[in-house]
Amino acid sequence: MAPPTRPFIFDDTQIDRSQLRKTAFNLRWATVEEDVIPLTAGEMDFPIAEPVSEAIQRHAREGYLGYCPKLGFETLREAICEDLSNRSISASPDRILVLDGAAAALKAACRAILNPGDEAVTFDPVDFLLPHCSELAGAKVLRCPVSPIDGSINFEALESLISSKTKALLICNPHNPTGRVLRKEELSAMANLAEKHNLTIISDEVWSEIIIGTIPMTSIASLSDEIRKRTITISGFSKSDGLSGMRVGYLHCENETIFNKIVDFSGVLDTTSGATALSQVAAEAALKEGGPWRSSFVEHLKSLVPYTADQLSQLAGVDCPKPEGTFLLFPSVSAFDMDCESLAEFILTEARVAVVPGAERWFGSRAKGHLRLSVATSRSVVDAALERLSALWGQQS
Amino acid sequence: MAPPTRPFIFDDTQIDRSQLRKTAFNLRWATVEEDVIPLTAGEMDFPIAEPVSEAIQRHAREGYLGYCPKLGFETLREAICEDLSNRSISASPDRILVLDGAAAALKAACRAILNPGDEAVTFDPVDFLLPHCSELAGAKVLRCPVSPIDGSINFEALESLISSKTKALLICNPHNPTGRVLRKEELSAMANLAEKHNLTIISDEVWSEIIIGTIPMTSIASLSDEIRKRTITISGFSKSDGLSGMRVGYLHCENETIFNKIVDFSGVLDTTSGATALSQVAAEAALKEGGPWRSSFVEHLKSLVPYTADQLSQLAGVDCPKPEGTFLLFPSVSAFDMDCESLAEFILTEARVAVVPGAERWFGSRAKGHLRLSVATSRSVVDAALERLSALWGQQS
């Protein structure tokens, strides 16, 4: 391997806006007007790590892009097991299913576990995909309130939602949108509930590489063998490796019967679904060779994210807690006396900064009054956005 | 653009078996023992065209692989419309949906058109995906017999299967596994039935670039404006461009209501599905720059496929018609007095050649007694396989 030619710095010199304007969709640079700064979808403004790019180029140069194995390349599944073992989850490659994204994995897991008439319990607020995929499977979703300020969980409320119809508990750790890294004792309490009521735990850990505070990441499946056997752990390569457009994620499910059901529902057996050859090559390179780059990216976020939270909190009527994980900020905004959708629109129009409103459809009813900002970018892009927000606030006071 | 450095020849010098053993799954080189020649899944042994590989490498080098637009890159959808216009289908990019493979497109189309209690009519034999995706949507499938020898259609039988419950007619053109290119008059007769009984036509045209006989390819949607409006045309880049592992295909649907339903079911809106950035880059390059290479590949098949059919027909008890399209051969084999599954197993064990049995689950009940061979490889690979088959036949006589 040649040494990486791109330095591990995360400033404006690394961001090619003309490329982003052609390639970054989903509410980002390619979809907003040219003078708008998008702090919307959870993906980075930086190009992918050099060794990942090189692995893709090498494979493309060799020229063979034929059908892949149903569960995913074995070398990738082995690398995933190695990575899970770093999170103290013992897993074998034949219980790993590689799919076209963590969202696809969540959808397949929900379809395997949930049927019409069943109930699933998740949180409010939480990323829309958790309740959405449960509903796609036909289940009714009940939501346990978590504090939109610090993400703390009311366990009495949680247990009161569980009935004989409840089949799954869906958690997101680190939690999108609050950025909370779930405590080991919180996970233990949830695990106890799952055992007591015989629930499958579906744990979305797509943000698990982005730990920026002092709370260490704990995977719920690492708590005990018993819990590992009732957990489906899901992750992907969009947040920490910039591979959202490559659509590659995976799940681990120790229970063989459930694993086989997931495989069946996923569409990999009948060739209607699966991760592409180059997506898998990229994911494997990210796991095996992307570590130093990724650590350096997380270091960058460790200073940028709390800085941004502090700056936002300086604005009148804005309270922005510092997240413990993710590169998402989730301030409450009481300024301007507007609902969050109107406020996001107002900020876009007046300050030319795009943010995600804390709308019920994205996060649940308790996200109201909040905005979500994604800041996986350079300090100077963030500063430009903050300056615009500050000017807008100044005009109104 | 630099001129291509790889010559457009399709012989053994272009086939890297050590790479195929690492990359070609789905019953092919990476899944069989080292001394076996696989003539199984419908994909090529040749690496992809140079300009397609270069486009992928260029995009990977730029390093931005973020979220793609929901329907697919606009430049790709424009290129697809241009390609459809070459088949006399007038289409606009906002009625094109790019998905992760033609199979995924077929599945989404079936889910949008068919509901439990509905019926779908297709053929027997035909590739399993047509009835399978109809059944996944909850429909009952009725199958019109086609001649497994020449693929000709019994239209009286076809109309007799249509009732008030019938919602869709699913065709495969060129037809897998018989290799028949449907005649314009056959397509007109099917179109008339569709109009008379108000059916949606789902036309799988994934083989449409591989026309090797004298019958020209006609897309059913090109017959009239009226037919175009009731047709969903599906295609992809696996057969003619070697991109099966990149999982990229598309559909065209003129009817806005149905198109929106397909988009909804496909999973592109909620990020649970979609084609990857590099798959779309590859597909666009294949359409815009892959033409000369693809024509040259088809020229190669024009001599290789009928040659192989002739050679197979020399074997006692084998009748192998010459296909008009595809690189698939579908001989009837009455030798050895075995059902086709045992025969395929026998040929694998004794002659070390892997073929697909004409099993009911792959093609329907009328495929019995047939084998399917895929020969998108070099003349010398085919000759080696033929020699082994000939030796096996010789031993038995």
Mean pLDDT computed over A294-301: 97
Note the pLDDT tens digit of each residue in B6-55: 558 999 999 999 999 999 999 999 999 999 999 999 999 999 999 999 99
Confidence band of B397 (pLDDT split at 50, 70, 90): low
- What is the number of domains present in chain A? 2
Confidence of residue B106 (pLDDT cuts 50, 70, 90): very high
Q: What is the pLDDT of residues A338-366, one digit of tens each?
A: 999 999 999 999 999 999 999 999 999 99
- Please report whether residue B264 resides in a domain: yes
| Cα–Cα dist A181/A4, whole Å | 32
**Pick from A289, A315, A337: which residue ends a domain?**
A289
B157 shares its domain with B273:
yes
Q: How far is A277 from chain B (nearest CA, A)?
A: 5
pTM of the predicted model as reported, rounded to 2 decimal places: 0.96
> Residues of chain B with pLDDT > 90: what percent?
94
A148 pLDDT band (50/70/90 cuts)? confident
Closest-CA distance of chain B to residue A71, Å: 11
Indicate if B33 and B160 belong to the same structural domain.
Answer: no
Inform me whether the pLDDT recorded for A2 exceeds 70: no
What pLDDT, in 10s, does the model give residues A62-98? 999 999 999 999 999 999 999 999 999 999 999 999 9
The answer to whether the CB atoms of A62 and B47 lie below 8 A apart is: yes
- pLDDT for A8: 87
**A63–B47 C-beta distance less than 8 A:** yes
- pLDDT, average across residues A166-170: 98
Q: Are A144 and A276 members of one domain?
A: yes
**Tally of CB atoms within 10 A around A246:** 33
A217-241 per-position pLDDT tens digit:
999 999 999 999 999 999 999 999 9
> Residues A68, A109: one domain?
yes
Complex prediction ipTM: 0.96
Q: What is the CATH number of the domain that holds A301?
A: 3.90.1150.10
Residue B267 and residue B302 in one domain = no
A326 lies in a domain? yes
**Residue B293 confidence (pLDDT):** 96
Q: What is the CATH number of the domain that holds B147?
A: 3.40.640.10
Note whether residue B209 is domain-resident. yes
Domain extent, residue B16, equals 12-48+291-391
Q: Are residues B118 and B21 part of one domain?
A: no
- Residue A317: CB atoms within 10 A of its CB come to 14
In which residue are the tokens 């009731």 written? B230
Out of A249, A274, A289, a domain closes at A289
d(CA A295, CA A290): 9
pLDDT in tens, B185-243: 999 999 999 999 999 999 999 999 999 999 999 999 999 999 999 999 999 999 999 99
Is B296 found in the same domain as B273?
no
Tell me whether residue B360 is in a domain: yes
In a domain, A237, yes or no: yes
List pLDDT tens digits, range B253-272: 999 999 999 999 999 999 99
pLDDT at position A397, please? 64
Task: For chain B, list the strands marked E by DSSP.
Answer: 37-38, 96-99, 119-124, 140-145, 166-172, 200-204, 231-236, 249-253, 318-319, 328-329, 332-333, 353-354, 356-357, 371-374
- Higher-scoring residue by pLDDT: A274, A149: A274
Q: Which of residues A228, A259, A289 is at a domain's end?
A: A289
A346/A244 same-domain check: no
| pLDDT of the residue at A145 | 95
Q: Among B64, B127, B240, B297, which would you mutate to test the A interface (most chain A Cβ atoms within 10 Å of its Cβ)?
A: B64
Do the chains contact at A64 and B16, CB–CB below 8 Å?
yes
In this structure, the answer to whether residues B212 and B357 fall within a common structural domain is: no
Residues A93 and A190 in one domain: yes
CB–CB of A107 and B267 under 8 A?
yes
- On chain A, the residues whose CB falls within 8 A of the CB of B47 are 62-64
Find chain B residues with C-beta within 8 A of A272's C-beta. 101, 103-104, 106-107, 129, 133
pLDDT at A3: 52
Interface mutation target, options B21, B22, B48, B67, chain A, most CBs of A under 10 Å: B67
**Per-chain mean pLDDT for chain A:** 96
Beta carbons of A103 and B20 less than 8 Å apart: no
State whether A256 and A305 are in the same domain.
no
Contacts of B234 (CB under 8 A, 6+ apart): B102, B105, B106, B109, B202, B203, B204, B205, B206, B249, B250, B251
Please tell me which of the candidates A66, A244, A276 has its beta carbon nearest to residue B67: A244
